Amino acid sequence: MFSRTLAKACPLASSSKVYVDITNNPEGELFELSPATPVLSQAVVVGDHRTYSVYDLTKADNLTKEDLLNLLFRWKGDNGDMLRPLLHAERYVAGFGLQTGEIHTLVYNNHPFRAFPVLLLESVPWYLWLYIHTLKVTSKSHENKPSYIHYQPSKDRQRPHLLETLIQLPPYSVTEVTVQFERALLKWNEYPRTQIMASTLDPLSSAPWCQVWLQWTRTSPKSIRCLAVSCPTSSFVSPALVTVGYGSFYNLLTRTFQVDEPSLPLAKQLTNLIRRIRGVPLLT
């Protein structure tokens, strides 16, 4: 999938399964899924009956010799409308310069007549200082006040920011959540060791709360992609590394060490002065 394979199950997880939605592809007329699996799962999601192909990562039948799950989608048609999920989201970082910025999160509700409450949970690194008073939620060009907001501020080099918001998604709408931040200055050895000198924001987790049969049930959370945020630093290329190394070696080579001898009493200093005039060896 996207030229990547899925590794085997996590040893700490009680179950690890991959679900592929094949509701609109019952006979394989749209795409072909390889390797095929006879294990199917039926579920009701927001009032719609969905069918999933289930791949269990704990079973060797679904894995290759390298203990990897390599799923292949082969689309049979060249043209066609992309199947959009009922609820999905995306986000990006806006702004210019390396001092401030703004995180934009777009949450899409493609249902034609139903509104859904969605709980957004975001973890932001401590070196991105969030301005929580700039939090703004808009739907259809109107302000959408969150029903619940929980914010736990970060501690430098100890814990990240934690922002949790419960918002109501109008039917067939796009809800935008924005919050501004400022980049902190890091120590030279705290920057990520990447070539682009960028830090990543953890994936945003969204858990829809759907009202079914006059009860509140929580569906499985969805993870939104990571973000790359540029860090305010000079590039750690060869000249910079040579400068850091040269400065350390130059300091060691040019530094001189001298023994700090304790001073003699005043009487002994006067005696040595007289003995120096007479040409007699000094006292120690």
- pLDDT, tens only, 191-240: 666 544 455 565 555 554 433 322 233 455 666 667 777 766 555 555 66
What pLDDT score was predicted for residue 181?
A: 92
Domain of residue 107, residue span? 87-230
CATH number at residue 108: 2.60.40.1170
Residues 140, 13 within the same domain? no
Average the pLDDT over 160-181 and give the result: 92
Residues 53, 182 within the same domain? no
What pLDDT score was predicted for residue 137?
A: 95
> What residues have CB less than 8 Å from 281, skipping those under 6 apart?
275
What pLDDT score was predicted for residue 216?
A: 31
Domain count along the chain: 2
Residue 246, in any domain of the structure: no
What is the model's pTM?
A: 0.57
Q: Assess contact for 181 and 98: CB atoms under 8 A.
A: no
Residue 262, in any domain of the structure: no
Residues 20, 152 within the same domain? no
Higher pLDDT, 84 or 181: 181
Residues 62, 97 within the same domain? no
Average the pLDDT over 261-269 and give the result: 81
What pLDDT score was predicted for residue 35?
A: 80
Highest mean pLDDT among 6-15, 99-108, 189-198: 99-108
Residue 263 Cα distances to 116, 258, 266, angstroms: 83, 15, 9
Residues 178, 108 within the same domain? yes
Q: What is the pLDDT of residues 126-136, one digit of tens each?
A: 888 999 999 99
Q: Report, in this order, helix, strand and coil percent for the chain, each rounded to 5.
A: 10, 45, 45
> What residues have CB less than 8 Å from 173, skipping those under 6 apart?
108, 109, 139, 140
* DSSP state, residue 89: E
What pLDDT score was predicted for residue 238?
A: 59
Question: What span, in angstroms and rounded, lies between the C-alpha atoms of 197 and 230?
Answer: 6
Residues 110, 64 within the same domain? no
3-state secondary structure 28-47: CCCEEEECCCCCEEEEEECC
What does pLDDT average to over the chain?
77
**Above pLDDT 90, what percent of the chain?**
15
pLDDT score of 183 more than 50: yes
What pLDDT score was predicted for residue 145?
A: 92
Question: What span, in angstroms and rounded, lies between the C-alpha atoms of 251 and 260?
Answer: 21
